[in-house]
Amino acid sequence: MESLADRIAQIQERIDRAARAAQRDPQTVRLIGVSKTFPMERIAEALAAGLRDFGESRIQEAEQKILGLPGQGARWHLIGHLQSNKAKRAAALFDCLHSVNSLRLAQAISRHVQEAGQPPREALLQVNVSGEASKEGFDLAMWQDRPAAAHGFFADVAQALALPGLRITGLMTIAPYGDDPLPTFRAARLLREELARRFPAAPWAELSMGMSEDFEAAIAEGATMVRVGRAIFGQR
C-alpha cells in the first residue's frame, strides 16, 4: 500500500514535469495539501514527509489543527468561502487567505488586522471567470467582453490595494468540474496580466488554481499554487 509520503512525492514529481514542460522553474509552483476534513494525525504525517502548505475551509476545524500543531513549520491557507463575520478569526489564524471575493470582505479583514496590531495579511482575490453560478468570487465571466463588470472590478482592486492591513499578491480561481479547465485557467492568467499592467506597484506573483484532477493543466497556464487533496490524502 502506498504511503502518504509516496503520494506526496509522486504529486511533486508530476508538478515538476508539468512545470518543465511549460518551460517554467518547478520551484515556482507550490503544492498545497488540502487537508480539510482530515484529522490532525494525517497532517502531522504529511509534515513529516516534507509537505509544508495546507489548505482548510472551515474556521473552527482549522483552528483546532493550527493550534494543535504549533512550531512545526506549517503554513496555513484558507481556501474556502469566508463570511465577513468570521474575518477576524481567519485573519488571526491563516498565513494566506485565498478566498477574498469582495471589497467588503477585504475591508473587514484589513480592519481586524489593524485592530489586532498584526502585520498585513497576505490575500488572493477569488475570481469567478467561468460563469458558474455555484462558484464564489468576483463575477468576471467573459470579463474582456464586459467592460462594465471589468471596470467595477478594477475600481474595487484599486481600493483593496490601498488597505493597510492587506497585502494582495494574486488571484485564485476554480475551474468547472468535469469540463475542459483550460479556458478558465487561461482567463485567470490573462486577468492577472491585465492587473499587473494596470497596477504595476502590486506584486501579482501568485495564481492559485488547479486541483487533483487538473493541476497539470493549471501549471501550463501559470499556476503558482496548486491545491491537491484527494490525490494526497485519499477520498473523504
- What proportion of the chain, given as a percentage, has pLDDT over 90? 90
pTM of the model: 0.95
List, for residues 117-152, the tens digit of each pLDDT value.
999 999 999 999 999 988 999 999 999 899 888 999
List, for residues 197-213, the tens digit of each pLDDT value.
999 999 999 999 999 99
Residue 6 burial by CB count (10 A; 0-12/13-18/19+): exposed, middle or buried? Answer: exposed
